[in-house]
Amino acid sequence: MTPQLRPAWTKSSHSNPDGGNCLEWSPASCTATGAIPIRDSKNPQGPILTFPSHSFAIFIAGVKADAFSRHQR
Does some domain include residue 2?
Answer: no
pLDDT in the model for residue 4: 58
pLDDT in the model for residue 38: 92
pLDDT in the model for residue 16: 73
Does some domain include residue 44?
Answer: yes
Residue 43 has pLDDT above 80, yes or no: yes
| More confident of the two residues 19 and 32 | 32
| pTM, entire model | 0.68
Does some domain include residue 20?
Answer: yes
Residue 21 has pLDDT above 90, yes or no: no
Does some domain include residue 42?
Answer: yes
| More confident of the two residues 1 and 35 | 35
Given a contact cutoff of 8 angstroms between Cβ atoms, the answer to whether 11 and 41 are in contact is yes
Residue 1 has pLDDT above 50, yes or no: no
Look up the domain containing 34 and give its range. 10-65
Residue 65 carries which DSSP code? T
Does some domain include residue 1?
Answer: no
Does some domain include residue 30?
Answer: yes
Does some domain include residue 21?
Answer: yes
**Nearest one of 42, 35, 41, 71 to 56, comparing CA atoms:** 35
